[in-house]
Amino acid sequence: MEKRAGRFSAAAVDHRSSSDRKGRWGRFQEQVFLWLFPLLRPGLLSVARWLLVWEGRRFRPSGLPVVVVSHTALRLLALLQGQSVTPPPLSPALRETLRALRETTQATVIILAVDPAIRQRRIAARMQAGTVDPFDRYMQADPARAKRIEGCLVQLAVAGWQARVVENADLDATALEAALARALLSPPA
Q: Which domain holds residue 174?
A: 2-185
Q: In degrees rounded to 5, what are phi and psi of residue 36?
A: -85, -10
Dist. CA 71–CA 11, nearest whole Å: 13
Report the pLDDT averaged over residues 12-18: 68
Between 123 and 173, name the one with better pLDDT. 123
pLDDT higher than threshold 90 for residue 68: no
DSSP of 8-23:
TTSPB--SS-HHHHHH
pLDDT over 80 (residue 15): no
Q: What is the pLDDT of residue 150?
A: 93
Find the mean pLDDT for residues 65-90.
Answer: 90
Model pTM? 0.89
C-alpha–C-alpha distance, residues 169 and 142, integer Å = 21
The mean-pLDDT minimum among 20-24, 54-58, 76-80 falls in 20-24
13 in Cβ contact with 4 (< 8 Å): yes
d(CA 78, CA 88): 11
Q: How confident is the model at residue 170 (pLDDT cuts 50, 70, 90)?
A: confident
Nearest to 28 by CA among 137, 134, 127: 134
Report whether pLDDT(99) > 60: yes
Q: Which position has the higher pLDDT, 110 or 21? A: 110
- pLDDT given for residue 177 in this prediction: 84
Q: Return the number of other C-beta atoms located less than 10 Å from residue 5's C-beta.
A: 20
**Residue 23 above 60 pLDDT?**
yes
Q: How confident is the model at residue 18 (pLDDT cuts 50, 70, 90)?
A: low
- Give the chain's mean pLDDT: 89
Return phi, psi of residue 21, to 5°.
-75, -20
Rounded to 5°, the CA angle 39-45-48 comes to 110
Q: How many domains, the chain? A: 1
What is the C-alpha to C-alpha distance for residues 96 and 91, in angstroms, rounded to an integer? 9
Q: What pLDDT does residue 39 have?
A: 97
The DSSP secondary structure of 89-100, one letter per residue, reads: PPPHHHHHHHHH
What's the Cα-to-Cα distance from 138 to each of 17, 146, 147, rounded to whole Å? 19, 8, 12
